[in-house]
Amino acid sequence: MTDSTTRVFFVQSNDNGVSVFATRKASIRVGRELDNDLVLRSLSVSRRHAILHLGPTALVEDLASSNGTRVEGLPVSPREPAEWPADSRLEVGDAVSILRLVDASPLDPGEAGDGSANLLSALDCLGPFARGIFLSGLGAGSLVERLHGQSSNAHGLLLKVDCNMLSATADEGWLTRAFDLAAGGTLFLDNIEHLSLDAQTSVLDLSAPPETLRVGPRGQPIVRVQVVAATRKEPWSLVEMGRLHRDLLTRLLLVVLPTSEECSGSSGNVESILQVADGAL
């Protein structure tokens, strides 16, 4: 069941770093298995750990998990839903915490606002996570335009590469050339699961923090490239199938957007996610 409200969560995992999850579902199940709405790939999380009821009053229902569920440190009794206030921290197992933000109604396309500018400023403050962003779900194409336009790299090139269109015989040097072309700008690698795992490793190597970047042929430093990778498929499923490098989801900032089943894909959906996230990172 879905409605018109976009709900945004920030997930911190000891195993997989930081990620952002957005949904329009009225309730979601969280757990380690891939059939959950919010997949938490941590051994301390049960296969089907808890259900989050996201009505006017959010509730958490622990599904008799092995390592328990806690709201601000207080245990949730199995099968007895407990209130989960906005801006409070939910602990799932021993290694994952989730921050629920204030819900946001979707905006009309003409009411964009500048939430993405503040989101980019916040991402720059995240240090190692600012090396790149991984988008999963609907609206990645429109979101990357605003991420680039509001970033400090806006003066540079936004280079878009649809990895699904690359020839299987493309030489390995194309990725280095793409990074060179996008120097000072943004490199958008759409449908990245169509790259080989070796090429995906190269993406991680080339998107290293500024202090470790190589120097150009004349001794000048290569300017930092903002890397945005995207897939429209469930990313952890792709990892299981051997089509996606796990480190892309743990070393880049993973942003899981609502699926096509949840919304029509209007730009208002993207903007509402950005504005809710503004100031929370």
CA dist 270 and 266 (Å) reads: 7
Tokens of 264: 């029509």
Task: Describe the strand order of the beta sheet including 186-190 as a list of residue ranges.
Answer: 74-75, 69-71, 89-92, 96-100, 2-13, 17-25, 253-256, 132-136, 226-231, 186-190, 158-162
What is the pLDDT confidence band of residue 171, given thresholds at 50, 70 and 90?
A: low
Specify whether the CB–CB gap between 7 and 103 falls below 8 A.
yes
Indicate whether 209 pLDDT > 70.
no
Q: Could you tell me which residues are beta bridge partners of residue 136? A: 231, 256
Domain 127-256: which CATH class? alpha beta
Q: What is the structure's pLDDT at 8?
A: 76
Instruction: Answer whether residue 170 shows pLDDT above 90.
Output: no
**Which residue reads 């759409």 in tokens?**
190
Q: How confident is the model at residue 150 (pLDDT cuts 50, 70, 90)?
A: confident
Q: 36-66 pLDDT, tens per residue?
A: 999 998 999 999 999 999 888 899 999 999 9
Q: What percent of the chain is predicted at pLDDT more than 70?
A: 71
Spans of all domains in the chain:
2-100, 127-256
Q: What is the pLDDT of residue 252?
A: 87
Read off the pLDDT of residues 66-113 as tens digits, 9 standing for 90 and up.
999 999 999 999 999 999 988 889 999 988 898 876 544 433 333 333
Pairing of strands 226-231, 69-71: unpaired
Give the separation between CA 61 and CA 107, rounded to whole angstroms. 30
For residue 7, give every residue at least 6 positions away whose Cβ sits within 8 Å of its Cβ, in sequence order, or none. 22, 23, 24, 54, 100, 101, 103
User: Does the pLDDT value for residue 119 go beyond 80?
Assistant: no
Which DSSP state fits 104?
Answer: B
Domain covering 2-100: architecture = Sandwich (2.60)
Rounded-to-integer distance, Cα 99 and Cα 187, Å: 30
More confident residue, 143 or 239: 239
